[in-house]
Amino acid sequence: MTSSHPTLAAAPTDPWRIGDTQLTSRFLLGTAGYPSPEVLRAAIEASGSQVLTLGLKRTLGTTGQDNGFVQIIRETARVQGAHLLPNTAGCRSAREAITLAHMARELLGTRWLKLEVVGDEQTLQPDPFELLEAARQLVKDGFEVLPYCTDDLVSAQRLVDAGCRILMPWAAPIGSGLGLLNPWALRTLRARLPGVTLVVDAGLGAPSHAAAAMELGFDAVLLNSAVSQSRDPVGMARAFRDAVQGGRQGWRAGLMPTSDVAIATTPVGGQPFVLP
Amino acid sequence: MSPDFLTIHTDRGPLRLPVGSTLADAVGLLLQAAPDAATVATAVNGEFVARSARADHALHDGDTVLCFSPITGG
């Protein structure tokens, strides 16, 4: 894929893939909750994102106008060379998610799918059983399934067994901004699933959270509210873009080992005025 | 129910159609009320029905027909 967007041209040459598509930006951006279509457009441009998420709603079942948001997303994606990633937000069962997935594929012309099946109303935690059932069917139906899942290792392994090549474990509940609540679990996922593309999705609230996820060796991050709900979504999109790049570069460079005790940095050979 | 008509359930409420009506007929009527929703995906009783299959999908009394459109999302 090519893009004329200047922020993408400046990105380091460190590609990754969704399916057969090579990407250079490791920052996937949600499109909900922005104050205006113009701010959304500018935030997308500032993010340098090559993957933008969308949802589906009942056309006649809700009031209110779209105000041109979807058109802006389509236009900006085309100009920026970004891809659309529809989700199955709102689904509570595998059957619902499968139906919505097929609708999204028809409407948006993509077989990529962020698979969401929620199992708890307060935490919006994914239902691991319905998620797995839906993933199995949708992989058979030809979708590139990106399941939004918890950080549970065995559930993740089952999704991989079902044919998911990319997993998107949460950092914290959707929209919470709490950051990486269980770094140990995320680190374990990375260590135990070395061949799987891992994207931290949901719960990131600050650019430092994104950098921390990338420093754990995750391949990308997906977030929405941290940008759209900030005072300056465009500036925050830029901050996350830089944090993701910095975290990735830190991971590639190799973080130093940690120690519970101090290790002197300056090689003075003991105390300056004390004879051995 | 009149034997010449069937009633389907929609987001606009019950819709009375002649027996033999198809999903394409129903979508055409439903979207008259929302001309900006030019492109929708459809489900009948919770099952996806592709755009290409709407004209051949016969509706039955009591069916639920829903239309979906893209929105912003995370």
Confidence band for A111, pLDDT divided at 50, 70 and 90: very high
User: For B70, which residue in chain A has the nearest alpha carbon?
Assistant: A56
Amino acid identity for residue A118 in this structure:
V
DSSP A256: P
The predicted model gives A196-202 an average pLDDT of 97
Residues A50, A80 contacting (CB under 8 angstroms): yes
Amino acid identity for residue A206 in this structure:
A
| Cβ–Cβ gap A61/B48 under 8 Å | no
The predicted model gives A118-136 an average pLDDT of 97
Q: How far is CA B15 from the centre of its chain?
A: 9
User: For A62, which residue in chain B has the nearest alpha carbon?
Assistant: B11
Name the 3-class secondary structure at B41. Answer: strand
CB atoms within 10 A of CB A171: 28
Reference A43, options A240, A243, A235; nearest CA is A235
The predicted structure's pLDDT at residue A67? 76
Q: Does A103 touch chain B (CB under 8 A)?
A: yes
Dist CA B47 CA B30 (whole Å): 18
The predicted model gives A268-272 an average pLDDT of 84
pTM listed for this prediction: 0.90
Confidence band for A267, pLDDT divided at 50, 70 and 90: confident
Tokens 């060379």: give the residue.
A81
The predicted structure's pLDDT at residue A62? 67
Q: Which residues of A touch B74 (CB under 8 A)?
A: 30-33, 53, 55, 87, 89, 174-175, 202, 223-225
Q: Which run of H or of E encompasses A201?
A: strand A197-201
According to DSSP, the residues that pair with B12 across neighbouring strands are none
| Cβ–Cβ gap A60/B10 under 8 Å | yes
What chain A holds in terms of domains, given with CATH numbers, is 16-253 (3.20.20.70)
Dist CA A37 CA A70 (whole Å): 9
Dist CA A203 CA A223 (whole Å): 8
Catalogue the E-assigned strands of chain A.
16-18, 21-23, 27-30, 51-58, 83-86, 112-115, 144-149, 166-169, 197-201, 220-223
The predicted structure's pLDDT at residue A179? 98
The predicted structure's pLDDT at residue A272? 86
Buried (b) or exposed (e) across A242-261, using 16+ Cβ within 10 A? Answer: bbbbbbbeebeeeeeeeeee
pLDDT, tens digit, 9 for 90 and up, residues A132-181: 999 999 999 999 999 999 999 999 999 999 999 999 999 999 999 999 99
> Residues A244, A149, A176, CA angle at the centre, nearest 5°?
60
| Closest Cβ–Cβ partner in B34, B41, B46 for A60 | B34
Dist CA A133 CA A92 (whole Å): 12
Reference A110, options A139, A142, A69, A140; nearest CA is A142
Reference B73, options A94, A247, A91, A198; nearest CA is A91
Q: Which residues contact A178 (CB under 8 A, 6 or more apart)?
A: A171, A172, A203, A205
Q: Which residues of A touch B70 (CB under 8 A)?
A: 54-56, 70, 86, 104, 107-108
| Closest Cβ–Cβ partner in A55, A96, A102 for B71 | A55
Lowest mean pLDDT, pick from A121-135, A216-230, B23-37:
B23-37
The predicted model gives A215-226 an average pLDDT of 98
Reference A44, options A68, A56, A65, A27; nearest CA is A27
Catalytic residue among A5, A41, A114, A238: A114
| Cβ–Cβ gap A103/B41 under 8 Å | yes
Dist CA A138 CA A162 (whole Å): 10
The predicted structure's pLDDT at residue B33? 62
pLDDT, tens digit, 9 for 90 and up, residues B12-40: 899 999 999 999 999 999 988 665 445 89
**How many residues are recorded in chain B?**
74
Please give the mean pLDDT across all residues of chain A: 93
Q: Which residues of A touch B68 (CB under 8 A)?
A: 56-59, 100, 103, 107
Read off the tokens for A19.
């399916």
Q: Count of H helices and E strands in chain B?
A: 1, 5
Residues A153, A189 contacting (CB under 8 angstroms): yes
User: For B48, which residue in chain A has the nearest alpha carbon?
Assistant: A99
Q: Does B72 touch chain A (CB under 8 A)?
A: yes
Residues A247, A26 contacting (CB under 8 angstroms): no
Q: Does B28 touch chain A (CB under 8 A)?
A: no
| Res. A78: pLDDT tops 90 | yes
DSSP B55: G
| Res. A21: pLDDT tops 80 | yes
CB atoms within 10 A of CB A178: 15
What chain B holds in terms of domains, given with CATH numbers, is 5-68 (3.10.20.30)
Reference A251, options A155, A186, A203; nearest CA is A186
| Closest Cβ–Cβ partner in B11, B48, B69 for A102 | B48
- Is A57 a catalytic site residue? no
ipTM of the shown complex: 0.91
For strand B65-72 and strand A51-58, is the pairing parallel, antiparallel, or unpaired?
A: antiparallel
CA separation, residue A185 to residues A150, A156, A213, A249 (Å):
10, 11, 12, 22
Q: What is the percent of chain A where pLDDT is above 70?
A: 94
